[in-house]
Structure 1
């Protein structure tokens, strides 16, 4: 069994991994819809969004490996880290849920990523800025596609509205983590690498509230609950995701098709 790599936890590396891991783990969850979406078109759409996110994660993991300077490639960083060395938002590791849950989560994450890519396009790191320029176009589509479904279901039948409201109540409690900034983000911001995520809170809320209003949904009030995936402390769901993701690489190190 392949052992885990020893990760450099410098601020720049952690900052990139927070974005990369959020994309990677959400892509893993979206991949679970392949063959299970409510319509063929959505089956393809979910899979394509997942592939876009994998592409974004690959680019970021490659750049993180370069900054780390330990010769770790994208595959090693994706599949050979311990759970505490993943820094994704807890929001994306939650179980797949029903279709309404997934499109609402997609909308929330795509809106965040869109705002983040817009800021990263002017990063002091030219490679990161180039990644952001391409990813921004994809995030805009992801946001629009998912938000259309949120509106359609939220302002649809009594059943669809109830399901969307239940998804909103479950997901919204994980929002504060998205905008909590710490020393990692402050150091990255000071170096010009990227913004503190707290700076994205107000524009994110404005865009999300506009979608929710059109969907006849109301965001819940913030609670004292705080998730901690960005710091490497995850929910009980993360271990199951990694067991599935890492099995082949761990069992057959360096295996190729």
Structure 2
């Protein structure tokens, strides 16, 4: 295993939580209810905290003197390695919670497997993050059920959100050379092996929510992101990185 491959894997984990954490934070102060405002803010903080651990370790592995903050704030859009799912716009509240649930269902399965990683630091980070992810998936799943099995309008919006976001699910389970290297060394699991647990959880929640999962042929079958981000990520990074780029090296 090369340090470059390991670094890439750690950036993928950290970029997923960084980008989704920032997306979720956009609801702060404008969520449909005070309790949702607080819950979403806490979810965003959890995700950013996980980012600090993943990108912090990535910086150590890279050995170029870059910190977690440097990796988060000073890379350009084409250097990010997050899944396309997490950078999708918030849309309405239902779309945000559907995106959150689909990610959470994958995240829980991934973190559970990573606790058995051959790299102690990876296993340690996964164990800490798994506790938060378990709460996230319970909450997002419950919300999807309540909205999906709610009014005619809420059901329509949740089905539309599922139809919109489902094509991005396939990427989460597509392995490339980096993933294969991580699996061979025991650092990370075989992504395809996570699909059964993901499907079982998603199918259970969607059944309770009275929502129809799109046909598998509808799923995104592309490769890894990082070189084909949508314009959404570019706009998001402009906001997220503005202060650091406007005042390089500023501290407070």
Range class of TM-score, shorter chain = over 0.9
Residue of structure 1 in register with 2:176 after alignment: 182
1:149 lines up with 2:143 in the alignment: yes
CA offsets 1:139-162 (integer angstroms, 9 cap, x no match): 000000111110000001100000
- Map residues 164-243 of structure 1 onto 2, 5 A cutoff: 164-222=158-216, 223=218, 225-226=220-221, 230-243=225-238
The offset of 1:112, in angstroms, is 0.8
Structure 2: distance between partners of 1:103 and 1:212: 13
TM-score (norm 1): 0.94
CA offsets 1:212-231 (integer angstroms, 9 cap, x no match): 00000110013264455534
Secondary structure at the counterpart of residue 70 of structure 1: coil
* Stretches of structure 1 lacking an aligned partner (at least 5 in a row): 1-7
CA offsets 1:102-139 (integer angstroms, 9 cap, x no match): 11111111111111111111111111111111100100
Residue of structure 2 in register with 1:249 after alignment: 244
Change beyond 3 A, Cα 1:144–1:224: closer
1:20 lines up with 2:20 in the alignment: no
Secondary structure at the counterpart of residue 10 of structure 1: helix
Match of 1:134 among 128, 131, 135: 128
- More relative contact order in 1 or in 2 (CA 8 Å, sep 6+)? 1
Residue of structure 1 in register with 2:23 after alignment: 29
Structure 2: distance between partners of 1:83 and 1:228: 17
The offset of 1:82, in angstroms, is 1.7
Residue of structure 1 in register with 2:114 after alignment: 120
1:47 lines up with 2:29 in the alignment: no
| Residue-pair matches, total | 250
Structure 2: distance between partners of 1:125 and 1:49: 27
1:160 lines up with 2:154 in the alignment: yes
The offset of 1:9, in angstroms, is 8.3
Structure 2: distance between partners of 1:67 and 1:20: 14
Structure 2: distance between partners of 1:151 and 1:103: 10
1:111 lines up with 2:111 in the alignment: no
CA RMSD of aligned residues (A): 1.5
Structure 2: distance between partners of 1:253 and 1:227: 36
TM-score (norm 2): 0.95
Change beyond 3 A, Cα 1:227–1:241: farther
1:15 touches 1:185 (CA, 8 Å); kept in 2? Answer: yes
- Map residues 47-126 of structure 1 onto 2, 5 A cutoff: 47-126=41-120
Structure 2: distance between partners of 1:224 and 1:144: 24
